[in-house]
Amino acid sequence: MNEAPPPVAPAHHPGRRVLVTGATGYVGGRVIPALLEAGFTVRACSRRAANLDRFDWADRVERAEADLADPGATAAAMAGVDVVLYLVHSMAGAEEDFEAAEARVARVIAEAAAAAGVRQIVYLSGLHPRTRAAGELSKHMRSREAVARILLEAPTPTLVLRAATLIGSGSASFEIIRHLAERLPLMIAPRWIGNRIEPLSIRDCLHYLVGAADLGEPVNRSCDIGCGVSYRFADLLRGYAEAVGLTRRVVALPWPLPVDGLSGAWIGLVTPVPAALAVPLAQSMAEDAVCEERSIRELIPDPPGGLADYRTAVARALARELGGGVPTSWDGSWRRGGDAAASAPGDPGWSGHTVYRDQREETAGVDPALVWEVVEGIGGDAGWYSAPRLWRLRGILDALIGGPGLGGRRDPRRLAVGDRVDWWRVEEIRPGRRLVLRAEMRLDGAGWLILEVDPDGAGGTRYRQTAVYVPRGLIGRAYWWAVYPFHGLVFPAMARGVLAEARRRAAA
């Protein structure tokens, strides 16, 4: 299976300027190169324009830095724009008023689009039974429906694309399916495991988004998009298992688990998707999500070669991951505790604060490039080269209290600023020399892990590993001293393990 996406057909209206909101997110980061290939002028919108630097298309787009809740910044981002792709959702929002916040942002978008003379808004929403009353929907699905209604009633024509589970390398839904299937030979699952769902490959989703930017005339309507075949969620698990040569049995419980609690916690514990994101995904699985109409074909033809069924989408996702070229993943937009570019521990802003450090240094007669190769590939399936059971236990405990836990990287070999590495986030990377990871685990304070690789002047390597923790209050200080004995076991072994792996690769 070819791991690269197929060529995109030239646009019929290449002179259009397309604003992509959520440009660094899972879908946004992938649709932008497709839009560029089609011939559109693309303006990428992010809260921090610097977050776009990690993408190889960053120097081919116009940049807009805007918080979409800010009417002034949003209006500036839309100046001269023909089409807006609205790809922002508060999936991980834990605040109770996130529905009001999403509705407020939708109104800002609608008003700014009308004032700027935008010809078309395209909103990627969720798929649910159209017969459901708003009060019967989960709060996240209810919020998406409210946003769609606000946009459809606004002056600017809006095309709402209603999709269920997206299947592609790095998608949250795919990670849930993959980890449930790989980690649980026998799955005792909630009753919603028997619900029907119509997935959509990320490649086909991008086809519809690019096509929506290229419509001849503006439209104001909603359309369901899916692969054309419905499955039970249990079939998705079995299908993935078969694709990787596993045999899995799925047993549904005779009673439902509360989707706001146990279902989300179950997913968050077994998979690398944190409970804060797993809960809304579980909510979306708690009812059928099947296309009820196919009117999208009146506007946008099927992709060349037809829509991909589930097995094809899984095969493509696996091929992409094996190729090491996953451009975006679900975790790129999941943040807890701040921006990935927040102040580094050595910045003057930390002066006056209590700062704890654990620093280890080792040398080895091995090429620094090989040591860096190990450092850049750390975490995820490669692990942390020390005390795997302790790392796993810490990951389980973190997941139980709502943190990200262990188990995730976008790419097994390459890192960029903003990438997730288990419960860390890449804050700084200087290829070949220095990697700064900021902790996203649940802490009463802020933490970093700094890994540095330097030549030792004799053809070998000096490897320095520093853990930095800035506690908040007495609980934060107590936490550091409670885990300090474990640092004495984990961090020295980790430093030695990194160099041992580099030596092994040198000898291979």
- Chain position carrying tokens 């996702």: 317
CA 110/CA 68 separation, integer angstroms: 11
Q: How far is CA 143 from the centre of its chain?
A: 20
* CA distance linking residue 457 with residue 341, whole number of Å: 33
Of the candidates 336, 346, 327, the residue with the CA atom closest to the CA atom of residue 425 = 336
Nearest to 136 by CA among 291, 292, 286: 286
Cβ count near 233 (within 10 Å) = 25
- DSSP collapsed to 3 states, 214-242: CCCCCCCEEEEECCCCCEEHHHHHHHHHH
Tell me, what's the pLDDT at 189?
66
- In Å, how far from its chain's centre is CA 397? 22
pLDDT at 225: 96
User: How confident is the model at residue 460, as a pLDDT?
Assistant: 92
Q: Are 383 and 500 in contact (CB under 8 A)?
A: no
Q: What is the pLDDT along the chain (508 residues), one digit of tens a residue?
A: 334 456 788 999 998 999 999 998 889 999 999 999 999 999 999 988 888 888 889 999 999 999 999 999 999 999 999 999 999 876 444 444 778 888 999 999 999 999 999 999 999 998 877 766 555 677 778 888 899 999 999 999 999 999 988 998 877 778 778 777 777 777 666 666 778 899 999 999 999 999 999 999 999 999 999 999 999 888 888 888 888 887 777 776 666 555 455 556 666 666 666 666 666 666 666 678 899 999 999 999 999 889 999 999 998 888 766 555 566 655 554 443 333 223 333 333 333 346 788 889 999 999 999 999 999 999 988 889 988 888 778 777 777 766 666 667 888 888 988 888 888 889 889 899 999 998 887 777 888 899 999 998 888 999 999 998 877 767 877 888 888 888 888 999 999 999 999 999 999 8
In this structure, the number of other CB atoms found within 10 A of the CB of residue 448 comes to 21
200-244 pLDDT per residue, tens: 999 999 999 999 999 999 999 999 999 999 998 888 888 888 888
pLDDT value of residue 363: 92
* Type of residue at 260: D
Contact (CB, 8 A) for 428 and 436: yes
CA 456 to CA 461: how far, in whole Å? Answer: 5
Instruction: Return the H-helix or E-strand segment holding 321.
Output: helix 310-322
* 102-130 b/e (C-beta count within 10 Å ≥ 16 → b): bbebbbbbbbbbeebebbbbbbbbbbbee
Residues 61-93: b if buried by 16+ CB within 10 A, e if exposed: bebbbbebeeeebbbebbeebbbbbbbbbbbbb
Residue-level pLDDT at 134: 55
pLDDT for the residue 377: 93
CA atoms within 13 A on the CB side of 400: 6
> Measured in Å, how far apart are the chain's first and last C-alpha atoms?
29
Residue type, 396: I
Which domains can be identified in the chain, with CATH numbers? Answer: 17-165+197-228+285-333 (3.40.50.720), 348-507 (3.30.530.20)
**Chain centroid offset of residue 504 CA:** 33
To which H or E segment does residue 446 belong?
strand 445-455
HEC profile of 249-316: EEEECCCCCCHHHHHHHHHHHHCCCCHHHHHHHHHHHCCCECCCCCHHHHCCCCCCCCCCCHHHHHHH
What phi, psi does 165 have (nearest 5°)? -65, 130
**Helix ranges, 117-201 (H):** 139-152, 172-183
Q: How many CB atoms lie within 10 A of CB 303?
A: 17
8 A C-beta contact, residue 121 and residue 183 = no
Of the candidates 312, 321, 158, 288, the one whose C-alpha atom is nearest the C-alpha of residue 227 is 312
Count CA within 13 A, CB hemisphere, residue 441.
25
Give the three-class secondary structure for 190: coil
Q: What whole-number distance in Å separates Cα of residue 161 and Cα of residue 297?
A: 12
CA-based angle 256:261:267, to the nearest 5? 85
Phi/psi at 227 (5° precision): -85, -10
